């Protein structure tokens, strides 16, 4: 009996989060829904209905994937996976160009932004939807940056040459060297 109540509470929470994600997606792309539908092979009315939580129509997984890929907005899929206790990391195309140092500094920036958001909302018992979305967006960007940083490290540490590249990055970015500063 207790398992049924727990699953019922889980489903209700998932539905609420999914509805909020659909509303946010619809709001962000309110002027482009016809183009998005056309790009994904859907009728624009059907896409609008599937994003409207008051309608009985629901997005299928392939449709979620298609509209996310077409818009580069993964908010609906992120909610679905987050409710399954999975973290997502969007890896933008062409993002390999940044140096290791820049990624590490970007991580500090994201950490600072998250810390500031936490301080700004520390006394609040509830968060407005826009604040919640802003915090989640910053956290997602931070996760993506960390994934790129890890990927960069893995690509650099296969032989001695990558260590030289990391050393050149360190020196080129004016890092203090022990005994020389």
pLDDT score for 30: 92
- Count CB-CB contacts under 10 A for residue 107: 15
If one counts every other C-beta atom within 10 angstroms of the C-beta of residue 23, the result is: 15
pLDDT at 168: 61
Q: Is the CB of residue 114 less than 8 Å from the CB of residue 142?
A: yes
* Tens of each residue's pLDDT in the chain, 181 residues: 566 668 888 888 888 999 999 999 999 999 999 999 999 999 999 999 999 988 888 999 999 999 999 998 999 998 989 888 888 777 776 666 777 888 889 889 999 999 999 899 888 888 888 888 888 889 888 888 888 888 777 777 665 455 556 666 655 665 554 544 4
Please tell me whether residue 146 adopts helix, strand or coil conformation.
helix
Note the Cα 151 to chain centre separation in Å. Answer: 17
End-to-end alpha carbon distance in the chain: 67
CA 121 to CA 132: how far, in whole Å?
A: 10
User: What's the confidence (pLDDT) of residue 27?
Assistant: 93
Q: How much is the pLDDT for 147?
A: 85
């Amino acid at each position: 009996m207790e398992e049924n109540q727990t699953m019922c509470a889980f489903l209700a929470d998932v539905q609420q989060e999914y509805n909020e994600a659909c509303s946010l997606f619809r709001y962000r792309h309110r002027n482009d829904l016809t183009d998005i539908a056309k790009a994904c092979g859907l009728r624009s009315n059907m896409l609008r209905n599937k994003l409207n939580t008051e309608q009985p129509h629901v997005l299928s997984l392939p449709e979620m994937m298609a509209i996310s890929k077409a818009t580069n907005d993964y908010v609906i899929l992120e909610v679905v996976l987050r409710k399954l206790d999975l973290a997502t990391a969007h890896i933008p195309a062409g993002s390999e160009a940044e140096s290791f140092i820049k990624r590490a500094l970007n991580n500090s920036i994201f950490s600072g932004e998250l810390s500031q958001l936490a301080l700004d909302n520390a006394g609040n018992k509830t968060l407005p939807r826009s604040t919640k979305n802003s915090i989640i967006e910053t956290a997602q960007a931070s996760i993506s940056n960390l994934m790129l940083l890890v990927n960069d490290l893995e690509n650099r540490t296969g032989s001695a040459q990558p260590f030289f590249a990391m050393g050149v990055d360190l020196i080129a970015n004016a890092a203090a060297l022990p005994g020389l500063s």
